[in-house]
Structure formats: C-alpha cells, structure tokens
Chain A
Amino acid sequence: MAELLRINVVHSTQHKIFPTITIWILVILGIIILLVEGRAKAKAGKPLFTKPKSIFVENYDKLKFWGCIALMVAYFSLLDVIGFTVTSILFVYLFNTLFGGLDRLKNKKYHLNSIIISLVSVISISLLFGTVFDITLPDGICTIWIKSLGITIF
C-alpha cells in the first residue's frame, strides 16, 4: 500500500508533479460534469449540445463594448511610448466620450466635464503617486522633467 502512495520526486522534474495532478483532476471532473449535466438535460428532454445563439445579450451595445476593448488595447500600447500622464489624460477623456454614448456626442457641456474630469483625476493621481510617493510609472516621450525642483512627472 505504501508503495502505491509514493511519488518519485526527482529534482529536475519535480516542477511537473503538481500540475500533472491538477490536470488529471480537471480531466476526470470534466468528464463527470459532462455526464451529470448531460443526464440532467436528457431527463428534461433537452438535447445535449445546443448551438449557442450568441453569448451576448439581445441588442447589445456594439459600439460601447467593442469600442471599450479597442480603446483599452490602444491605451495600454501607448502607455510605455508616450508616458503615463499624457496618455491617461487623453484616454480618460476618450473613455468618458465613448461611455457617454452617441446621443451625448453633440453636448458641449458633457465634453467640457469630461475634459475637466480627465485632467483633474489624472494629474492628481499622477502627482500623488508618481511624484510624492515616488512610485515608478510608465515613462515615455512626454515625460516632463523639472530640473530645478528635481521632479519628474511621468
């Protein structure tokens, strides 16, 4: 019995032990889930695999959803290039505009508010954490360096 319960621990391969155990558990459990849920579906008279219509809800807001993902990719890609503060000001403004929706696009007051929010929030966070607390932030071409005060604004 003791021999069955032994795992051979060799230094150079021991990194595979636990992941292997985990994968086995996943495979076995996965089969059990398929069986259990399949049986439940069969009892209820539903077919085992229905072709999903769409993972999205009805009439989902395409612009906001895909726009959000696209903007996030753009934001992250540009952070290291342009530097934290400037990129964030730009993108917080863009996100505000996107989330506001098409109907608010023409509203001047909305845009003005967006600009104020993006400027105030980004600058205060950037100054507080990047300069006062000296946390390393992405830096890029728009990093401002004030020699006389010895401050760098990312």
Chain B
Amino acid sequence: MYFKRLAALLLAVCMIAGSLAGCNTASGNSTPASSQDAGAPATDESSAPAEASGETSLTGKRVRVVIGSTSTGGDSYMVADMVTRYLGAEMGFNGKVDPVGNAAALDAISKAKGDGTTIMMFHDMTFLSVLFGAVDQQYALENLTVGPRIGQNPGGCYAAHKDAPYSTLAEAAEWLKENPSKIVRVNIESGGVSHLTFVAYWLWAKDTYGDDVAGRIKAIVGGSTDEKKQRLWDGNTDIIYGDYSAFVEFTKEGVDNQLAMKIMDPADVIEGVDIPTMAQNGVTFNGEPFVFSKDFAMYFPKDMDQNVLNEIAAAMQKVAANPDFQAEMAKLKYKAVSPEETELSASQQFIFNKREMSKSLIEAAPSLDDLT
C-alpha cells in the first residue's frame, strides 16, 4: 500500500522534472541544444548550434561519450561537453559525457559496439599512458580506431611565485648557472604532458648549460593541480606545471602576496595571451623548437563501422566550421581545429606522428628516479 504511494510520488516528480527539463530543449530530449530558455534570463552566449541537417545513422540515439578524466571541471570535460553538444545537434543524437577515468575509458571503448553509440574523446594521454606503461599495451592505438581531431588546449604552462628570481625556464637555468649551490624544483605529474614538456626542457638545459646545471633541476612528482599550488605556497617546490586557466587568477593585481604567481613558458601559443612560449624562449628538441599542445581527438573501437565513422567525421568538419563553436572554444582559451585538420585521414596521420614524437622524447629521457 505505502509502497504504491511512494511509487506514485516518484512518478509524479519524474513527470514534473521531465517536463521542466524538456522545456529548455528544442527536440524534447534531455540535452540542452537550443536557444530557448524557459524563464531563465540568458547570458550573452550565442548558444544556437544549428538544427540537425538531415538523417544520419545516429539520429535519435543515445550516444555515450567517455573521457579519460574523472573530473567535471577540467579541460577534457569542457571540450567533450562542447563538442558533444554541437555534434549532437548536427547529427541529431542525444549525447552524454561520462567522466570515467583513463583506464576505464580505454577499456570501455575497446569493448564497445562499433556503431558509433560510444565515443571516446580525450587528449594525448590516450597513447601517452600506454607509452609510459601506466596502462596495458592492449590499449595501444593499433587496437583502436583513431577518429577526427576535435580541438587543442595550448594552455599547459609553468608557474612560479611572483617573487621568484627568474621569469622563464631559460632564465631559471641561467640563474642556476650563476648560483652553483642552488637547485630548482619543478612539480610535475608522471606519465603525462607535464612529464614530456619537463623532459624536453631538461634535455635542452643539459645540452645548452651542461650536466651540472641540469643535475640541479629536480623534478618533484605528483599531486593534483590544487595540491601543486599548495606545495608552491608551502615553499616545497619552486615551479609547478598546470593549465593556464588554473593559474591566471593568481597573477592579477590585488592578490595576496603569499599566493601571487607568475606564469612562465606555455608549451604553445595561447590566443590573447602575451607570454613567450617555451619555443620562443629557445627550448628545442631534436633541433626543432619545442611546441606541445594537448590535442583532443575522438577514438573508436577497432572494428568501427566505416560508414558511421565517415558520417561523424563529416559532421565534425561542419562543427569545426561553425563560428559559434569556434567562439565558445576561444572563450575558454582552447583552439578549435580547422575543417581541413579535422578531416579523418589528416587527423589519423597527425595523431600517429605525435605519438612517434612523444616516443622519441620518452626514449631520450632519463628515468624519474634520476630526475627526482
């Protein structure tokens, strides 16, 4: 008896929630894809991705987008969310982003059906985690299908305390040369992009300044971005690595002196940000100026249906050309890829090349046991 009442209550709430959720979408499903907001004063966003242009094999279906991070506040989630919204509007599907984590995402996409209802969107960690040995060899790119590229985050950079005696990584090496008793500690995460950029810097410093200076550049491994900031404030490290957006607030005027930071050496050019990059500061690898952005792409199971893949790639090209999409990406300081770059074979070539470059960097690098 009481159970039936409880169930009726649940159903009623379900209906209310459903209708309320429904009134801010144009197509009656539960992803927001339209510009009509029920009773909510909209902000100045131009949030109008175009309506689905024709039937595709994914129209009306639910697509699960897995990402390799477990956080909903990071760049992986933001990029995936944006792309899913626009792609969903373009192809007519109902997409859901699930932040499941690195190994779980690789596992989910390896075992998924090849019909396009599961997509993995993630950055270079997809293959870096295999190269570094953090996940099993079975998840190497050879056992997946690489899909179109979807965006770039050039915002990985280094930061130090505002009062530090150097303003770029190169200056840090100079300072070490002039102060033979000092060391510089750099907080990075092992197995990721920070590890790669740090290794590139270290190898360049060794070539340019010699073994002694390089020997006094120490790596401190581990911690989330918040924990790294805490380390910097506690004086347990001198330089930390993270995303530009995580640090920019601390560089502004008016921040308490203990917390104030300065940003150094982004690994690639960030739109609208005037700080010289690693390459512009002279860091090179294999003779070439060293540039590294986090490149996001879609990944699919090995036996992916070629037709669906082509449809998705074509839709992605349309999304990339969409000025609203480009504007949204730029707002968060991400770089949208051009329709040419997102073309399927160009993307696949790019990702494989990047993997080769990363592989040679990892092979040249000393082990972290020696660097710490």
Genuine A/B complex? yes
Binding site for B on A (CB under 8 A): 10-12, 116-117, 120-121, 124-125, 127-128, 131-134, 136, 145-152
Asked if B7 and A136 make an inter-chain contact with CB atoms under 8 angstroms apart, the answer reads: no
A134 touches B14 (CB 8 A): no
Interface presence of B307 (CB below 8 A) = no
In the complex, 14 of the A-B residue pairs with CB atoms within 8 angstroms, ordered by the A residue number, are: A11-B190, A11-B369, A116-B4, A120-B4, A120-B7, A125-B10, A131-B30, A132-B18, A132-B30, A133-B30, A136-B64, A150-B28, A151-B94, A152-B61
A134 to B62 CA separation, bound complex (whole angstroms): 9
From B17, B18, B60, B372, name the one whose CB has the most chain A CB atoms within 10 angstroms: B60
Q: Are B221 and A11 in contact (CB under 8 A)?
A: yes
CB proximity of B88 to chain A, nearest CB, Å: 10
Whether the Cβ atoms of A149 and B28 lie closer than 8 Å is yes
Partner of A148, one of B31, B60, B61, B94: B60
Residues of B within 8 A of A132 (CB): 14, 17-18, 21, 30
Please give, as numbers and ranges, the residues of chain B lying within 8 Å of A149 by CB-CB distance: 28-29, 60
Q: Which of B14, B30, B31, B371 gathers the greatest number of chain A CB atoms within 10 Å?
A: B14
Task: Tell me whether A12 and B28 are in contact in the complex, defined as CB-CB below 8 angstroms, given that A121-B7, A148-B60 are known contacts.
Answer: no
Count, A-B residue pairs, CB within 8 A: 70
CB-CB under 8 A from B3, the residues of chain A are 117, 121
Tell me if B221 and A150 are in contact (CB < 8 A).
Answer: no
* B18–chain A nearest beta-carbon distance, Å: 5
Give the Cβ gap from A153 to chain B, nearest Cβ, in Å.
10
Contact count band on B: 20 to 34
- Inter-chain CA distance A148–B17, complex, in Å, is 20
Proximity string of chain B (94-135) to chain A, C-beta cutoff 8 Å, 1 when within and 0 when not = 101010000000000000000000000000000000000000
Q: Which residues of A contact B371 (CB under 8 A)?
A: 11
Starting from the known contacts A132-B21, A145-B62, 20 additional A-B residue pairs (CB-CB under 8 Å) come to A10-B372, A11-B372, A116-B4, A120-B7, A121-B3, A124-B11, A124-B14, A127-B14, A128-B10, A128-B14, A132-B30, A133-B30, A134-B94, A147-B59, A147-B61, A148-B60, A150-B60, A150-B62, A150-B93, A150-B94
Instruction: With both chains docked as a complex, state the minimum distance between the C-beta of B192 and any C-beta of chain A, in angstroms.
Output: 15
Interchain nearest-CB distance for B115 vs A (Å): 12
Q: B367 at the A/B interface (Cβ < 8 Å)?
A: yes
B56 at the interface (CB under 8 A from A): no
Q: Does B145 contact A (CB under 8 A)?
A: no
Residues of A contacting B372 in the complex (Cβ-Cβ under 8 angstroms): 10-11
| Residues of chain A contacted by B92 (CB below 8 angstroms) | 150
Residues of chain A with a CB closer than 8 A to B61's CB: 145, 147, 150, 152
Cα distance, A125 to B3, chains bound together (Å): 13
Q: Does B364 contact A (CB under 8 A)?
A: no
Whether A12 contacts B64 by the Cβ 8 Å rule is no
* Contacting residues, chain A, for B190 (C-beta < 8 A): 11
Query: A136, B28: Cβ atoms under 8 Å?
Result: no
CB of B70 within 8 Å of the partner chain: no
For A125, what are the chain B residues with a Cβ–Cβ distance below 8 Å?
10
Digitize B1-39: 1 where CB-to-A-CB distance is under 8 Å, 0 elsewhere: 001100100110110011001000001111100000000
Nearest-Cβ distance from residue B271 to partner chain A, whole angstroms:
33
Whether B368 sits at the interface, judged by CB under 8 Å, is yes
Bound Cα distance from A67 to B367, whole angstroms: 54
Please, which residues of chain B bring their CB within 8 A of the CB of A152?
61-62, 94
Docked Cα-Cα span, A149 to B18, in Å, equals: 13
